Structures are given as structure tokens and as C-alpha cells.
């Protein structure tokens, strides 16, 4: 059985997974929008997978926090290095001032 999720139902399900998800409402709205956009572009339905959602996104209170957690500097290694999963992801600023990173 398949159920089409509305944003409201998605937010309800996020509340049910709050122990493993720690996203603000603006972040959840952005995640929902990205999943919907992907479905439309790929012309396919995406199964609701709370584990994949929780591990594919990260929310940061500031750009500085996001950089601190994903970029390191080592003079011996020749400078800055970025975690491999960050190289192929996107991020943007949310309405609450936080940043959402998608792997």
C-alpha cells in the first residue's frame, strides 16, 4: 500500500522520528520540497525512508558550524580538505537562519 504524503503528514512523521531526527520545521519543509522536486524531475515515487532522511541531511545553526564540522586544515597535508561526502552535496540558508546540508 502506498500513501501520498502531504507536508503536514511529513511533519507529523518527523515528530514521530524526533529521537533520531533533529531538524527544525524550516529544515523539514526544505527536505520535503527537495524530495518532491526529485520525484517530479525523475518521474518516480520516492519511498519514505526515515533512516535515509536522517543520515542524508544535516542542519547547522551557522555557516561557521557547517564549515567547522566538514572542512579541516592541515599544513602537512597541503592545506584544506573537505569531507568526501560534502563535495557532491548542496546547502542553503533556511528561513530561521540555519543552514541545511544535503549529502
Supply the pLDDT for residue 87: 56
pTM of the model: 0.79
Alpha carbon separation from 89 to 71, 76, 85, 101 (Å, rounded): 14, 27, 7, 7
Is 27 a residue whose pLDDT tops 90?
A: yes
In tens, the pLDDT along 33-92 reads 999 998 999 998 888 888 888 888 989 999 888 888 877 767 766 676 655 555 567 788
β-sheet bridge partners, residue 91: 101
User: In whole angstroms, what is the distance from residue 72 CA to residue 82 CA?
Assistant: 7
pLDDT mean over 16-32:
88
With cut-offs at 50, 70 and 90, classify the pLDDT of residue 24: very high
Supply the pLDDT for residue 5: 85
Amino acid at each position: 500500500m502506498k500513501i501520498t504524503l502531504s507536508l503536514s503528514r511529513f511533519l507529523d512523521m518527523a515528530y514521530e522520528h524526533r529521537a533520531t531526527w533533529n531538524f527544525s520545521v524550516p529544515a523539514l519543509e526544505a527536505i520535503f520540497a527537495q524530495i518532491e522536486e526529485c520525484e517530479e524531475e525523475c518521474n518516480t515515487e520516492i519511498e519514505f525512508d526515515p533512516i535515509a532522511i536522517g543520515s542524508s541531511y544535516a542542519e547547522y545553526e551557522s555557516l561557521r558550524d557547517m564549515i567547522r564540522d566538514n572542512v579541516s586544515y592541515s599544513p602537512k597535508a597541503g592545506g584544506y580538505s573537505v569531507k568526501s561526502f560534502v563535495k557532491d552535496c548542496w546547502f542553503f540558508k533556511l528561513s530561521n537562519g540555519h543552514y541545511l546540508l544535503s549529502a
